[in-house]
Amino acid sequence: MQKNGKIEKVSIIVSRGSLDGVYPGLIMANGARMEGIEATLFFTFFGLEAIMKKRMKKLKVATVGNPGMHMPSLLGILPGMSAFATMMMKREMEKLDIPPVDEFIEMIHDAGAKLYACKASVDMFHLKKEDFCEQVEDIINVGTFYELSAGAQIIFT
Amino acid sequence: MAFDLKQVKLDADGFLADPNAWTEELAKAFAIEEGIPNLTERHWQVINFMRQEYKQKAEVPTIRRLKNAGGIPTKELYELFPNGPAKKAARIAGLPKPQGCV
């Protein structure tokens, strides 16, 4: 797993489908590749939204049940609140040169990371391989995920 | 004869302390240290673009910036500078270690 204390491989699980739920995993995967660390991404449950052709460009910030918003959930349910928070976050991200989800997925893939969709979630949501962007390597079960993660640090987001 | 890196001042991260002290010979010496024995035309394109951006913005460009403004596809960047392209290219280009997360 480690040579001279250096991390050589990571497996990152993305389990949430909001914009704020998806980015940390993507930034960590991209950052790993930037450091020459092997990276595998496993999208599960609502995390699948990040790699779905029809959904990946439309992810929103979760304004309800999110204490970090410093906003009562009652306000979070107001129409336009999530759209507003999403716009603000995207604007700040752009300033830092952090790409939108679809471009980020493409960059991470081009950087050599491998992307997988979780089979149980795919079956649960009645999805097919065609529903996912071309960067997705395969739909795999949890056993295969562990096989692919041999020697890796596993990070759940 | 290869340039001796001991002759130049490096910062704590091993990057060139003064970007203005950079020369092409120095770039070649850094590249050898980074495991790139031969800098091709495409390597120079990355290096020159990074230096030009740094001169204008005083910031090391991100991989995304290299792709979108510099015309260097991410895949190719990783092939040109294996195992840590942003850092390696910045070091060879005589710039400080990149500070951003992307």
Q: What pLDDT is attached to residue B2? A: 58
Nearest by CB to residue A97, choosing from B62, B78, B83, is: B62
- % of chain B surpassing 70 pLDDT: 97
pLDDT tens per residue, range A51-81: 999 999 999 998 888 888 888 888 888 888 8
Sign of CA dihedral A20, A25, A26, A32: positive
CB contact under 8 A, A97 and B82: no
CB contact under 8 A, A34 and B62: no
Query: CA–CA separation, A37 vs A112, rounded Å?
Result: 10
pLDDT band for position B3 (50/70/90)? low
Q: What pLDDT is attached to residue B69? A: 94
Q: What pLDDT is attached to residue A138? A: 97
Burial of A77 (0-12, 13-18, 19+ CB in 10 A): exposed
* Single pTM value for the model: 0.91
pLDDT tens per residue, range A93-152: 999 999 999 999 999 999 999 999 999 999 999 999 999 999 999 999 999 999 999 999
Residue of B nearest to A28 (CA): B101
> The complex's ipTM?
0.89
pLDDT beyond 80 at B6? no
Among B53, B57, B63, the strongest candidate for a mutation testing the A interface, having the largest count of A CBs within 10 A, is B63
Among B64, B68, B97, the strongest candidate for a mutation testing the A interface, having the largest count of A CBs within 10 A, is B64
Q: What's the gap in Å between the CA of B35 and the closest CA on chain A?
A: 13
CB contact under 8 A, B64 and A99: yes
Q: What pLDDT is attached to residue B43? A: 97
The reply to whether B5 belongs to the active site is no
Q: What pLDDT is attached to residue A32? A: 97
Query: CA–CA separation, A153 vs A49, rounded Å?
Result: 24
Mean pLDDT, range B24-52, rounded to an integer: 95
pLDDT band for position A3 (50/70/90)? low
Mean pLDDT, range A22-45, rounded to an integer: 97
Structure-block tokens of residue B55: 């001169």
Query: CA–CA separation, A45 vs A29, rounded Å?
Result: 18
pLDDT band for position B90 (50/70/90)? very high
Query: CA–CA separation, B62 vs A77, rounded Å?
Result: 36
Nearest by CB to residue B83, choosing from A36, A96, A98, is: A36
CB contact under 8 A, A35 and B84: yes
Nearest by CB to residue B73, choosing from A27, A36, A110, is: A110
For chain A, give the mean pLDDT: 93
Q: What pLDDT is attached to residue A70? A: 83
CB contact under 8 A, A110 and B83: no
pLDDT band for position B60 (50/70/90)? very high
CB contact under 8 A, B84 and A30: no
Q: φ, ψ for residue B10 (rounded to 5)?
A: -110, 155
Mean pLDDT, range A9-15, rounded to an integer: 98
pLDDT band for position A2 (50/70/90)? low
Residue of B nearest to A99 (CA): B64
